[in-house]
Amino acid sequence: MTVSHGLTGVEDAGAFLARLTRLDPRALVRLRGDETLGRTTLWARLPWRVLVARTVAGAGPRDTTVAAAELLAELARGGVALPPERDREWRWALPPVGARVVERLVAADLWRVATAAAQTVRAAAAGGVRGRLVGQRLLREALLDHVAIVVTPEDGAPVEVPQRLVQAIVRMGFLGSVPEADQADDDRPVHVRLAGRWVGLSAPYGIAWLPAVDNLVTRLVSAHTKV
């Protein structure tokens, strides 16, 4: 008996899966369906340890993990079958329910931070950091751990948003497609969220989550862009 994936928001799911598999061809995707709402949230883990999620139309499986590439291929050919389950291979916790918004940004802030990061990488690759050559892996990790944004809620301590989260929403397409000339004026909301010890960035087309870790930041990269 064929088990259906239940997704009707095929275009949205396909966009999520296509971006995900370009970043990690072997990625898993966890489907968590809600029959009451008629929607399914797709969860995945990016290579730089960030969880990303997008909710699409259609009540899929209650909680099943499959290969992202296999589900993408099934959607691309118009099929309805759910690929073989890979539940045992999913090893990551999800953020708790009940997230709260602690700050509202605009998409232009994130475009600016992402652009500054790209410029920093190009400059470091060409001339090193403070005159010293830096390996690509070390440079990448230092950049991802760099605190790109700091917000201070009225009722709590400052919340640090590392570049890992910014890169996740940009590279997964969660900000949408905006012409480069218009990015500086993109005023669509992006929310900083907290759920327990998890920090999230909620953009128009998806959300990225990272568990807060003490002493996360490596301050190798000298350009400290803050909003």
Q: What is the DSSP letter of 129?
A: B
Q: 10-89: what fold?
A: DNA Polymerase III; Chain A, domain 2 (3.10.150)
Using pLDDT thresholds of 50, 70 and 90, give the confidence band for residue 85: very high
Dihedral angle, C-alpha 173, 147, 122, 137, nearest 10 °:
-90
Query: What is the model's pLDDT at position 226?
Result: 38
> According to the model, what pLDDT value does residue 135 have?
52
> Do the strands 51-57 and 206-211 form a parallel or antiparallel pair, or are they unpaired?
antiparallel
> Quick one: average pLDDT of 38-53?
97
pLDDT in tens, 47-62: 999 999 999 999 999 9
Tokens of 155: 């009722």
What pTM does this model have? 0.86
Whole-number Å distance between alpha carbons of 199 and 48: 15
Dist. CA 14–CA 2, nearest whole Å: 21
Q: What tokens appear for 78 in the block?
A: 């118009």
Q: Where in the chain is the domain with CATH 3.10.150.10?
A: 10-89
